[in-house]
Structure formats: C-alpha cells, structure tokens
Amino acid sequence: MDYNLKLGMKYISKKIVKEEDTAAKFGSGDIYVFSTPSMVGLMENAAMNAVQSELGEKYSTVGIHLDVKHLAATPMDMEVRAEAMLKEIDGKKLVFWIEVFDEKKKIGEGYHSRFIIDKEKFMNKINMK
C-alpha cells in the first residue's frame, strides 16, 4: 500500500514544562526539571504528527524503538520543542531523527522508529488478549 509518505517530512511539537512533566512528579527522579519520559513523549508526538495527516483516518503509527540522549536539564515554565524528520521508510517501518530544544539550547536528540498500523485491525488484535 502506498501511504504517500516522503523522506524529509517534518513536524514540531511544543509544550511549556509544568510540574506534571518533571522528574520529581513522574517518579523518574526527585528534581523538578523536565523528565526524560516527558521528553520522549514529546519526541514520539512530533514523529507521529509528521506523517499522520498523510495516513488518514484508517491508519496510524505506533512506536517500536527509541535511541535517545537527554543532554541537558530544563526548568519548569520554560518552553520545549521537539523537531522530528522522517529519515527512512522501510515498508511499514518509519525511522525519524528528532532533536529537542528548550529556550536556551538543544536538550535531547535521537532516533525513533514507528510502525504503520491499520487502527481497526490493531485494536481487534489487542482486544483478543
């Protein structure tokens, strides 16, 4: 199936770091700075949105692999943004390069792989568990 995807497709996801995004609140640390799990979530969101409009209502993507570095801490109330770019298409497998920035500098980077799914078939399979 042709999903009309092209290398270089991009998307930027942004958010303001709030208490619920911090390591202390998430439980991955005890400091009130932007947590790695929250950064990963923002990265996945940017990758998903880079291709979702071309996939339409019937299809979506699910994350299958992450290889990321969290390079610097970000305090609460600062904006962070994840910039995702589609780097590889291998059938239904998509590979993205993602960089994350706060208002001062780059705070994260890495590769993220996602797999294209038929949403109805996927949920039917999951519901059989």
CATH architecture designation of domain 10-127: Roll (3.10)
Per-residue pLDDT of the chain (129 residues), as tens digits, is 668 899 999 999 999 999 999 999 999 999 999 999 999 999 999 999 999 999 999 999 999 999 999 999 999 999 999 999 999 999 999 999 999 999 999 999 999 999 999 999 999 999 998
User: What is the structure's pLDDT at 5?
Assistant: 96
Known catalytic residue at 65: no
Known catalytic residue at 36: yes
Report DSSP letters for 1-55, one per residue. Answer: ------TT-EEEEEEE--GGGBHHHHTS-SSSBB-HHHHHHHHHHHHHHHHHHHH
Give the residue numbers of the binding site. 63, 114
Instruction: Please give the mean pLDDT across all residues of the chain.
Output: 96
Which candidate in 22, 44, 74, 83 is catalytic? 44
Going from N- to C-terminal start, the domains of the chain cover: 10-127
How many helices (H) and strands (E) in the chain? Answer: 3, 5
Q: What is the pTM of this model?
A: 0.95
